[in-house]
Chain A
Amino acid sequence: MSIWEYANPVKFIRTTDRILPWVSVAAVLCLVTGLVWGYFFTPDDYRQGATVKIIYLHVPSALMAINAWIMMLVASLIWIIRRHHVSALAARAAAPVGATFTIIALATGALWGQPMWGTWWAWDPRLTSFLILFLFYLGYMALWSAIENDDTAADLTSILCLVGSVFALLSRYAVLFWNQGLHQGASLSMDKEENVADVFWYPLLVCIAGFVLLFVALVFLRTQTEIRARRSRALLAREGRT
C-alpha cells in the first residue's frame, strides 16, 4: 500500500468518490459554523469595529491562494519525476481554484482597506505580491489552454510552475525591498506574543479548516472531471478511427 497506487486514475476516482461527500459536507459545515460564529457571535473590535469580521474570509482565502500554488508545485514535481497523469491533472484542476482564492483575498482586502487605511489599494509589498501571484496563475492557466497535446501541455506547465515559483519568491523579496508596507505583519504565528485575540482566533481557525476542506473537495472534483473528460476524448478518438 503506497501513495502511488492513487496514480491509477480508476483507483483515484474510486477512492475520491468515497471521500468526496464527506469532505464536501465537512467543508460546508466548517464554513457555515465558522462564518456564522464569526459574523454573529463575536464582539466588534474596539478600534476596527465590525470591519474586523472580513478576516474570516480574507485570511483563509489568502492562505489557500498560496497553498494552492504550493500544491501545484508539488504536483508538477511529481509529474516531472514520476510521470503520473493524475498528478498533472490535479495541478491543472487546482489552478483556477487558487486563482479564485487570490481574487477573493484581493477583493476582501480592498474592502477592508477602504475603511481602515482610507484606500482601496496601496502598493504595499503583500498586496503587490498577491497581484503578481495572480498574474502567475493567469499565465499558467493560459498556457494550459493554449496547447493541444495533453502531455506537452503538462510538461510545459510543470516547468513553468517550477520556474514561476522561483520568480514568485524573488518578486516577493523584490517588492519588500521596493516599498514599505501598510499591511500588518504575521499575527497568527504560533510562537509570537502578539496574536489575534482568542475570541476571533477560534472561529477563524474553523474558517481556515473550512477553506482547506473546500479546496480539497474542489480539486478532487475537478481532477475527476479532467480524468473523465480525457477518457471521453480518448473514446471519441478511437471511434473516429474505426
Chain B
Amino acid sequence: MIALLLRDLRLAVRAGGGFGLGLAFFLIVTVLIPFGVGPETGLLSRIAPGILWIGALLACLLSLDRIFALDWEDGSLDLLATAPLPMEGIVTIKALAHWITTGLPLVLAAPALGVLLSLPPSGYLWVLVSLALGTPALSVIGTFGAALTVGLKRGGLLLSILVLPLYVPTLIFGAEVARRGAEGLAVQTPLLMLAGISFGTLALLPFASAAVLRINLR
C-alpha cells in the first residue's frame, strides 16, 4: 500500500500538472471573486471564509478525474485490481494520494490567500483547521465520484454533477467553522460535525467506491 502511495505521489510530481494546477486554480478563483463583487474590504473580509472554502472545493473537483483516468487508460488499474491488495485499500490510498497532492497544498495556501481577501486575523487558524479537517472528506467523496465515472469518455462534467451535491454537508459545516472562527464565535459544534463527516466518509465510503470500481472493471 505504501509502495502504491509513493508511486502515485511520484507520478503526480513528475508528470506535472497535479500539484500546481489545483493550486493555481485556487489562486485564480480567489483573485476573480473581488473582481466580481468589488474590492470593498468589509464585504470581502465577511465573505472570505466562504470564498476560500468554495475555491478549495472547486480546485479539488477539478483534479478528481485524474485519480483513476491515467491508470485506467494504461491498464495499470486492472493490474492493481488483480493484485493481492484489497480494492478498498487501493481506493483509500488513491484518495490519500489525491489529498496529499491537492488537498494539502490548498490547506497550506489558504491563509496566504486569506490575506488577499482581508480575512480577519482571528480567522486564519480556523480556516486552516476547517480546511485541514474537511479536505480529506472532499478527496474521499471525490474518489467515489471518480470511481463511478472511470470508464466514461465524457466523464468530467458528469463527475461534477454527481459529486457536487455530495459535497453539500461538508461545505456547510466547513464554511460554518471558518465563518464562526473569523467572527470569534464558538466553533465546537460545526467542528465536531465536520470531523464526524470526514472520519465517517473515510471509514465507510471506500467500500462503496471499491464496489463501484469493481463493477466498472468487470
Residues of A within 8 A of B (CB): 132, 135-136, 138-139, 142-143, 146-147, 152, 155-156, 159-160, 162-164, 167, 170-171, 173-175, 177-178
A117 to chain B minimum Cβ distance, whole angstroms, is: 22
Report the separation of the CA atoms of residues A175 and B190 in the bound assembly, to the nearest whole angstrom: 12
Contact between A156 and B168, CB atoms less than 8 A apart? no
Chain A residue at minimal CB-CB distance from B194:
A174
Query: Which residues of chain B from 183 to 218 have any CB-CB distance to chain A below 8 Å in the complex?
Result: 189-190, 193, 197, 205, 208, 211-212, 215-216, 218
Kindly list chain B residues whose C-beta atoms are within 8 Å of the C-beta of A155: 212, 215
Kindly list chain B residues whose C-beta atoms are within 8 Å of the C-beta of A170: 168-169, 197
* Contact of A167 with B162 at beta-carbon distance under 8 Å, contacts A147-B152, A152-B216, A174-B172 already known: no
Work out how many contacts link A and B, with CB atoms closer than 8 A.
75
- Chain B's interface size range is 20 to 34
Majority secondary structure, B binding face = helix
Contact between A164 and B158, CB atoms less than 8 A apart? no
* Contact of A132 with B168 at beta-carbon distance under 8 Å, contacts A142-B161, A142-B162, A178-B176 already known: yes
Return the contact of A163 from the options B172, B189, B205 (Cβ within 8 A): B205
Residues of B within 8 A of A (CB): 144, 148-149, 151-152, 154-155, 158, 161-162, 164-166, 168-169, 172-173, 176, 189-190, 193, 197, 205, 208, 211-212, 215-216, 218
Report the separation of the CA atoms of residues A182 and B212 in the bound assembly, to the nearest whole angstrom: 40
Report the separation of the CA atoms of residues A143 and B212 in the bound assembly, to the nearest whole angstrom: 13
Kindly list chain B residues whose C-beta atoms are within 8 Å of the C-beta of A177: 172-173, 176, 189-190, 193
* Contact of A156 with B212 at beta-carbon distance under 8 Å, contacts A164-B166, A170-B169, A174-B173 already known: yes
Contact between B173 and A163, CB atoms less than 8 A apart? no
6 A-B pairs with least C-beta separation: A174-B169, A135-B165, A170-B169, A174-B172, A155-B215, A139-B162
Report the separation of the CA atoms of residues A78 and B144 in the bound assembly, to the nearest whole angstrom: 22
Kindly list chain B residues whose C-beta atoms are within 8 Å of the C-beta of A173: 169
- Sample of 6 more A-B contacts, CB < 8 Å, known A143-B148, A156-B216, A171-B168: A139-B165, A152-B151, A164-B165, A167-B168, A174-B169, A177-B190
* Contact of A143 with B208 at beta-carbon distance under 8 Å, contacts A152-B215, A160-B148 already known: no
B146 to chain A minimum Cβ distance, whole angstroms, is: 12
Report the separation of the CA atoms of residues A139 and B166 in the bound assembly, to the nearest whole angstrom: 10
Contact between A132 and B173, CB atoms less than 8 A apart? no
Contact between B166 and A167, CB atoms less than 8 A apart? yes
Report the separation of the CA atoms of residues A138 and B155 in the bound assembly, to the nearest whole angstrom: 15
Contact between B172 and A178, CB atoms less than 8 A apart? yes
Chain A residue at minimal CB-CB distance from B175:
A178
Contact between B158 and A142, CB atoms less than 8 A apart? yes
Kindly list chain B residues whose C-beta atoms are within 8 Å of the C-beta of A143: 148-149, 158, 162
Kindly list chain B residues whose C-beta atoms are within 8 Å of the C-beta of A163: 144, 166, 205, 208
Kindly list chain A residues whose C-beta atoms are within 8 Å of the C-beta of B176: 177-178
Contact between A162 and B208, CB atoms less than 8 A apart? yes
Contact between A159 and B208, CB atoms less than 8 A apart? yes
Kindly list chain A residues whose C-beta atoms are within 8 Å of the C-beta of B173: 174, 177
Contact between A167 and B169, CB atoms less than 8 A apart? yes
Return the contact of B169 from the options A138, A156, A162, A171 (Cβ within 8 A): A171
Report the separation of the CA atoms of residues A138 and B165 in the bound assembly, to the nearest whole angstrom: 10
Chain B residue at minimal CB-CB distance from A157:
B148
Kindly list chain B residues whose C-beta atoms are within 8 Å of the C-beta of A171: 165, 168-169, 172
B217 to chain A minimum Cβ distance, whole angstroms, is: 10
Kindly list chain B residues whose C-beta atoms are within 8 Å of the C-beta of A136: 165
* Contact of A159 with B211 at beta-carbon distance under 8 Å, contacts A143-B148, A152-B216, A164-B166 already known: yes
A sample of 14 inter-chain contacts (CB < 8 A) reads A139-B165, A143-B148, A146-B154, A155-B215, A159-B208, A159-B211, A159-B215, A160-B162, A162-B208, A163-B208, A167-B166, A171-B168, A173-B169, A174-B173
Kindly list chain B residues whose C-beta atoms are within 8 Å of the C-beta of A178: 172, 176
Kindly list chain A residues whose C-beta atoms are within 8 Å of the C-beta of B144: 163
* Contact of A138 with B161 at beta-carbon distance under 8 Å, contacts A156-B212, A163-B205 already known: yes
B208 to chain A minimum Cβ distance, whole angstroms, is: 5
Kindly list chain B residues whose C-beta atoms are within 8 Å of the C-beta of A162: 208
Chain B residue at minimal CB-CB distance from A136:
B165
